[in-house]
């Protein structure tokens, strides 16, 4: 899906998605992800935040609405989606074999993504360096991830990374 689809692109996507799935799950509470989940699936589940008019419309549209719990860890929030579907949640993260890069540390490690797509969501460089130092002090190796063309930004945040 394009990041900022025009009306023509959005209608084409909607036409291609329309009720093409038995179940559509939205892991975000935004209007657009909720709308596309409703359109794509004969059954839909998604988060609802707030109590306004849009929240009420989402409750009507989604076959399995889930109230977003903001003071909860994101993993626990997403596990609420399985509860709504009657699926036993499994709170264990397992990396699929073959998808972990060969250079991944052998021992315990943390993965951070310090360069999000939108600048307003970005934390300070000092904050990321402090987090990495704190994780290292707890015995974790730190692995950074980035998208295409973000290597220079990662090098600016973690100068020793390129050494």
* Per-residue pLDDT tens digits for 39-63: 999 999 999 999 999 999 999 999 9
Average pLDDT (114-127) is 88
Q: Which of 53, 69, 85 is the last residue of a domain?
A: 85
pLDDT, averaged across the chain: 87
Residues 11 and 81 reside in one and the same domain: yes
Residues 36 and 72 reside in one and the same domain: yes
Average pLDDT (139-143) is 92
Assigned domain for 45 exists: yes
Average pLDDT (96-113) is 74
What integer pLDDT is reported at residue 160 of this predicted model?
A: 75
Assigned domain for 97 exists: no
Residues 13 and 73 reside in one and the same domain: yes
| 163 vs 136: which has the higher pLDDT | 136
Query: What HEC string does 44-58 produce?
Result: EEEEECCCCHHHHHH
Residues 69 and 29 reside in one and the same domain: yes
Average pLDDT (138-143) is 92
Query: CA separation (Å) from 111 to 16, 38, 104?
Result: 35, 32, 10
Least reliable range by pLDDT among 76-80, 100-104, 105-109, 128-132: 100-104
Q: What order of strands is seen across the sheet that includes strand 21-26?
A: 21-26, 41-48, 64-67
Residues 74 and 25 reside in one and the same domain: yes
What integer pLDDT is reported at residue 93 of this predicted model?
A: 64
What integer pLDDT is reported at residue 72 of this predicted model?
A: 80
For every residue of the chain, DSSP letters joined together read: --SS--HHHHHHHHHHHTT-EEEEEE-S-SHHHHHHHHHHEEEEEEEE-SSSHHHHHHHHH-SEEEE--TTS-HHHHHHHHHHHHT--------PPTTTS-TTS-SS-EEEE--S-SSGGGPPPHHHHHHHHHHHHHTT-EEEE---TT-HHHHHHH-GGGG-
Assigned domain for 92 exists: no
**Count of the separate structural domains present in the chain:** 2
| Cα 132 from Cα 118, distance rounded (Å) | 21
Assigned domain for 1 exists: no
What integer pLDDT is reported at residue 163 of this predicted model?
A: 45
| Domain carrying residue 132 | 109-162
| 147 vs 81: which has the higher pLDDT | 81
Residues 78 and 11 reside in one and the same domain: yes
Residues 81 and 12 reside in one and the same domain: yes
Binned at pLDDT 50, 70 and 90, residue 21 comes out as very high
Residues 31 and 76 reside in one and the same domain: yes
pTM of structure: 0.63
């Amino acid at each position: 899906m394009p990041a900022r689809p025009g009306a023509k692109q959005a209608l084409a996507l909607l036409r291609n998605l329309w009720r093409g799935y038995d179940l559509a799950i939205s892991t975000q509470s935004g209007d657009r992800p909720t709308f596309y989940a409703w359109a794509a699936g004969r059954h839909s589940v998604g988060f609802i935040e707030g109590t306004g008019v849009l929240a009420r419309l989402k409750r009507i549209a989604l076959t399995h609405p889930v109230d977003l719990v903001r003071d909860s860890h994101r993993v626990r929030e997403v596990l609420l989606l399985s509860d709504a579907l009657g699926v036993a949640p499994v709170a264990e993260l397992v990396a699929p074999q073959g998808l972990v890069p060969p250079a991944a540390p052998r021992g315990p490690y943390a993965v951070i993504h310090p360069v999000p797509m939108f600048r307003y969501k970005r934390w300070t460089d000092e904050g990321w360096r402090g987090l990495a130092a704190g994780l290292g002090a707890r015995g974790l190796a730190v692995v950074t991830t980035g998208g295409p063309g973000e290597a220079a930004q990662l090098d600016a945040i973690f100068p020793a990374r390129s050494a």
